[in-house]
Amino acid sequence: MSKNNNIIRQIRRTILIVEDEFINTEILSEILSDSYELLTAENGKEALDVVKTALTPISLILLDINMPVMGGLEFLKIIKADEKYKRIPVIVLTSEKQSELDALELGAADFITKPYDLPEVVIARVRRSIELSEDRMIIQAAERDELTDTYNKHVFIEYASKIDLYHPDDETDVVVVGVDKLNLYNELYGRDAGDYALRSLADILKEIVRKHNGIVGRLRSEYFVLYTNRISNYSELMSEIDKELIEKYNVNNLRFHLGIYQVDSKEESVDKRIDLAKQVCDEVRNSNKEKYHIFDQEAQKKQLFKERLVREVKRAIEEKQFQVYYQPKVNISGNKFVLSSAEALIRWIHPELGFISPGVFIPIFEENGAIRLVDRFVWKEAAMQVKKWKEKYGYTIPISVNISRIDMFDKNLVNHIREIIDEVGISVKDLYLEITESAYNNEIDQAVAIVEKFKEEGFTVEIDDFGSGYSSLNTISILPFDVLKLDMKFVKEMFKNDKTFKMVGIVADIAKYLKVNLVAEGVETREQVVALQSMGYNIIQGYYFSKPVPAKEFELLIEKGFGK
């Protein structure tokens, strides 16, 4: 027996005797008074008042069945339906076998027959019922979350596994309920209000699983998990929870989302099912578009693919799976088209998966921060290539490299790039820095500070994909820069409607006004080149001249006529 259990055993317990016959009450009092504190009531109604007003917890109720005003069975039914009192064990005092059966069905723990057994037998039954109840409460306290009285994850998994064992053919769902921005809720309304909201949500979820023969657990502060028979309509479920929170519990502005894993095969571990439901739950939270989503196998394949790519980034860099391709930027302002510079573009040649499009892996890396590793790889490779071409051809071909949104949060960004420049032995004028709108539209003040540092160091700064976002005009009025790159969608659409054609011309006028160089991306036809040249675009980039190519192929372009 544990130390805590010993302490519990030493505390003097309180027993409520509910009996309308004075002599029976006296007999029980004589038997139990040496070991227990005693309270008495003469009927069920009086007993309810005692239970609700008792100054000390009641450890056991001795309950007669046949009493005036309110009988024992009616009292038992009421007490076992009340969350606050249903765990108090009840020993029924009766001599009627049918009453024993009825009491058992209502939740009675044991019986003492009338006339009463030997005092030793009565004491033993009372002690046993109290100890079993307290042991059960100790176990329950260990297996449940203290705040919400829901199962902890370990116990939840055990019980869910038992459900599978005894009901192997039932269609079931694992549902992870995620509370949005719980920390913010606590800050706005206070920790007590946040705790109350969580308890309220937990109570609603318990009621839901009762209807669907399920259980509720808590994964951690902002996540609950349900294992339940298949729920047909989750839209209605979401509405039901919202309505209950507001109308029954007066909880407002608590936002939540659901991730649902519908169980097809119970051979998969419960733990794995929870992980899949939570994965979907987090995807819903990050999308800000849906309130719930049901897991599907295709989504899982995509997620596993994403996880694999992220996991293999470092190895891909070490094994030179990443390759830097170069696309020429051509100056068309004079009579002769001249190579102006190049843009460095990353390619991934995977040993098993083959060519992986940057349109696939770059958004994944931007999402989780792995893009920093890739960017630094590209910066270093591009810097070394500038030096190689300068040594080979006797002049510099500047290379533009991309600065990602994640990079802009790095306070040491300027130093990192400066270190590469110094280590390789090239000039700051040899590496152009392309910054897209996604890199600065949410943190414009920080972006301005970083770009100003780049300008102080002497770097050439290019605004990439101009026109792709709503804040483009505001951006160019704030950020210092040297080159404006028109988003390629304008070039592709310029001959499809007059408005786009005019917009291309307006951007040229803006560049002239600001006295910055102007680059048009995505140029593929002679017609586009002629039109852009007439508008004043001085630098062109696109498949009309060349697709992105490895360094060796780029050198062929230089040697065939592009060059000084």
Q: How much is the pLDDT for 2?
A: 43
Beta strands 215-220 and 172-179, pairing class: unpaired
Token pair for 64:
């007669």
Q: What is the pLDDT of residues 178-210, one digit of tens each?
A: 998 888 888 889 989 999 999 999 999 999 999
Select from 143, 172, 191 the last residue of a domain. 143
Assigned domain for 11 exists: yes
Residues 119 and 163 in one domain: no
pLDDT at 28 over 80: yes
Q: How much is the pLDDT for 139?
A: 58
pLDDT at 456 over 80: yes
Token pair for 466:
């101009």
Assigned domain for 301 exists: no
Assigned domain for 311 exists: no
- Structural domains of the chain, count: 3
Here the CATH number for the domain that contains residue 268 is: 3.30.70.270
Residues 430 and 539 in one domain: yes
Assigned domain for 125 exists: yes
Q: 89 lies in which domain range?
A: 3-143
Assigned domain for 302 exists: no
Assigned domain for 472 exists: yes
Residues 166 and 130 in one domain: no
Q: How much is the pLDDT for 442?
A: 54
Q: How much is the pLDDT for 79?
A: 87
Residues 9 and 75 in one domain: yes
Higher local confidence (pLDDT), 312 or 437:
312
Q: How much is the pLDDT for 564?
A: 41
pLDDT at 143 over 90: no
Q: Where are the beta strands (DSSP E) in 255-300?
A: 256-263, 292-294
Residues 68 and 129 in one domain: yes
Q: If DSSP codes are grouped into helix, strand and coil, which group holds residue 15?
A: strand
Three-class DSSP labels, 216-257: EEEEECCEEEEEEECCCCHHHHHHHHHHHHHHCCCCCCCCEE
Is residue 447 very low, low, confident or very high in pLDDT (cuts 50, 70, 90)? confident
**Residue type at 235?**
S
Is residue 296 very low, low, confident or very high in pLDDT (cuts 50, 70, 90)? confident
Q: How much is the pLDDT for 528?
A: 94
Assigned domain for 44 exists: yes
Q: How much is the pLDDT for 398?
A: 96
Q: How much is the pLDDT for 413?
A: 92
- Tokens 């910055």 belong to which residue? 516
Q: How much is the pLDDT for 3?
A: 41
Q: What is the pLDDT of residues 239-270, one digit of tens each?
A: 999 999 999 999 998 999 999 999 887 888 89
Q: How much is the pLDDT for 411?
A: 83
Residues 172 and 136 in one domain: no
Most confident of 99-103, 385-389, 407-411: 385-389
Weakest mean pLDDT among 101-110, 364-373, 451-460: 101-110
Residues 343 and 223 in one domain: no
Q: How high does pLDDT run on average in the chain?
A: 87
Here the CATH number for the domain that contains residue 107 is: 3.40.50.2300
Buried b / exposed e across 385-422, counting CB within 10 Å, b at 16+? bbeebbeeeeebbbbbbbbbbbbbeeeebbeebbebbe
Higher local confidence (pLDDT), 4 or 365:
365
Residues 110 and 252 in one domain: no
Residues 166 and 118 in one domain: no
Residues 116 and 156 in one domain: no
Q: How much is the pLDDT for 439?
A: 63
Three-class DSSP labels, 469-518: CCCHHHHHCCCCCCEEEECHHHHHHCCCCHHHHHHHHHHHHHHHHHCCEE
Select from 143, 178, 194 the last residue of a domain. 143
CA distance 62 to 109: 10
CA distance 467 to 162: 58
Residues 133 and 185 in one domain: no
Q: CA 416, 420, 425 angle in degrees (round to 5)?
A: 150
Instruction: Give residue 509's Cα distance to chain centre.
Output: 46
Arithmetic mean of pLDDT, 471-480 = 70
Q: What is the pLDDT of residues 487-531, one digit of tens each?
A: 898 999 999 888 999 999 999 998 898 888 899 999 999 999 999
pLDDT at 177 over 60: yes
Look up the pTM and report it: 0.56
Assigned domain for 174 exists: yes
pLDDT at 469 over 70: no
Is residue 72 very low, low, confident or very high in pLDDT (cuts 50, 70, 90)? confident
Weakest mean pLDDT among 30-39, 62-71, 137-146, 528-537: 137-146
Select from 93, 115, 143 the last residue of a domain. 143
Here the CATH number for the domain that contains residue 472 is: 3.20.20.450
Arithmetic mean of pLDDT, 10-15 = 75
Q: How much is the pLDDT for 205?
A: 95
Higher local confidence (pLDDT), 198 or 81:
198
Residues 161 and 280 in one domain: yes
